[in-house]
A and B are shown apart, each in its own frame.
Chain A
């Protein structure tokens, strides 16, 4: 059983050793338009609903706690208070149910879930979510970060943009941008910054703050045009650094994970690029892309089968936990 609560979603999932998902319920803490989620309130939300979600996960899977091998939780990265609110529940359940605990790196959870759901063996991974923007490839027992943002994350950038033009946070700012972008027709020039395999989004953020509203008010373009152009620009940057990493690593396939990875336009652009290189794109829908419990359970069980469990004292959380900090003992290739 896996427990996730590193950001505004709290989720519990049950998976088998082979990656079959038995249940995967989740709840999202949604804030009013124009506001973001704060650590304390988010943790409070998680505390209020998590026990119901645990019960729901057991019921939907049709199992009893005694059927479980281990309890896996997100150790990091993420927001401190929400992470801890979930870890506390896991420690308690571990004592009541007498089950070992396995700490999991959230990013590795996304990668392993994506690999098993899609059947991608050794893809270049684009991990794009609220707080993460990384291009990752596996090499010698680690998921190494080849490209990343040198300032703000893509999801974060989209969220701030949505806030700037007053879009709703329900179900997510990114989803609302995607929907509105479909109505956009005019391409507005925005800052495009690629450096090596890294990108920079601070230029876009400045644009959003200084020009977006004025352009709409002056009737130069609509909010839809801006959403459309924003997606076209940012996603082109993401596809470009993914392609650069592929050329650098001689890889052909791509896996997209993380919340922004549900975006159909991003998937479409990536598919064109990967197709031209003769490779295959692996992408998932919102059940797996968005933070969930099953991904934590699955990455956890891989480590558990390698004998990795944590003592109670080791079941800490850490806000900063790099993807390449994890030694990937369960992969036997190069």
Chain B
């Protein structure tokens, strides 16, 4: 960051407080159990009050301006906790929220036994029937969120988990980029992000079609969402792209 020399105000005071505070993640042995090093934070597996728990800690991004960084980290942590609960109220399966540690920018939640949709597709172990069932569950979950005015904001295949149970329940995670909106454009963009995650990464058009079929059945506002989705998609295709 060199010559610009940001004064690290937010973290200076944060660090002072942290020294007096106990680092719970460390106490729980979290740092030895890294599950994933994502773009935004680290995900650890720990035992918390006797339960298998996932701790997701957002870390400071030193590349961005401290004011912006603090703002984003705070709002995403809060958004993630709130939206997880909201989605659940709307009938979408999400991990149970255990605890939010503002000081450590960490969120504690139930560890869902199972795999991400990304892993499942990569393994190529899903039958036609599984694809249809999981696609339908995803479509229904997204429809419920959208009809309830919740936009996920990061619908990629690594943020969709499939629980290891008889029902193979689809669990939606990672609500850090969620927002509250009833605007069709926002829903359209949400679907567009999901489509690209499924088709660009996995070239799996069929799966996305199952998602859309279920969305259409489950959402009362599917028609306006689909129209916007088509519009956003065309924009991508047709953007003149000069220079």
Binding site for B on A (CB under 8 A): 6-8, 76-79, 107, 129-132, 144-146, 148, 150-151, 153, 155, 187, 189, 192, 194-198, 200, 232-233, 236, 239-240, 243-244, 246-248, 258-259, 268-270, 272-273, 276, 291, 319-322
Q: Which of B2, B39, B68, B241 has the most CB of A within 10 A?
A: B241
B125 to chain A, nearest CB (A): 20
A-facing mask of B201-243, CB < 8 A → 1, else 0? 1000000000000000000000000000000100111111111
CA distance A76 to B2 in the complex (A): 40
A-facing mask of B182-197, CB < 8 A → 1, else 0? 0000000110110011
Given A196-B197, A244-B39, A269-B63, A236-B68 contact (CB < 8 Å): yes
A-facing mask of B1-40, CB < 8 A → 1, else 0? 1100000000000000000000000000000000001111
A163 to chain B, nearest CB (A): 16
Q: Is B155 an interface residue (CB 8 A)?
A: yes
- What are the residues of chain B within 8 A of A233 when measuring CB–CB? 68
- What are the residues of chain B within 8 A of A6 when measuring CB–CB? 242-243
Interface pair B241/A132, CB less than 8 Å apart: yes
Interface pair A150/B201, CB less than 8 Å apart: no
Given A132-B241, A132-B243, A187-B65, A243-B39 contact (CB < 8 Å): yes
Q: Is B158 an interface residue (CB 8 A)?
A: yes
Q: Which 10 pairs between the two chains have the least Cβ-Cβ distance?
A: A130-B243, A131-B242, A196-B193, A77-B241, A7-B243, A236-B64, A272-B63, A247-B39, A269-B63, A131-B243
CA distance A107 to B239 in the complex (A): 14
Binding site for A on B (CB under 8 A): 1-2, 37-40, 61-65, 67-68, 71-72, 153-156, 158, 177, 189-190, 192-193, 196-197, 200-201, 232, 235-243
Interface pair B241/A78, CB less than 8 Å apart: yes
Given A192-B72, A270-B63, A131-B156 contact (CB < 8 Å): no
Task: With CB as the reference atom, state the residue of chain A lying closest to B200.
Answer: A144
B202 to chain A, nearest CB (A): 10
- What are the residues of chain B within 8 A of A7 when measuring CB–CB? 242-243
CA distance A296 to B61 in the complex (A): 36
Task: With CB as the reference atom, state the residue of chain A lying closest to B242.
Answer: A131
- What are the residues of chain A within 8 A of B243 when measuring CB–CB? 6-8, 78, 129-132, 153, 155, 258-259, 291
CA distance A291 to B40 in the complex (A): 33
Interface pair B156/A196, CB less than 8 Å apart: yes
B130 to chain A, nearest CB (A): 23
Given A144-B200, A195-B189, A247-B38, A151-B242 contact (CB < 8 Å): no
CA distance A186 to B152 in the complex (A): 32
A240 to chain B, nearest CB (A): 7
Interface pair B65/A232, CB less than 8 Å apart: yes
- What are the residues of chain B within 8 A of A79 when measuring CB–CB? 240, 242
- What are the residues of chain B within 8 A of A273 when measuring CB–CB? 61, 63
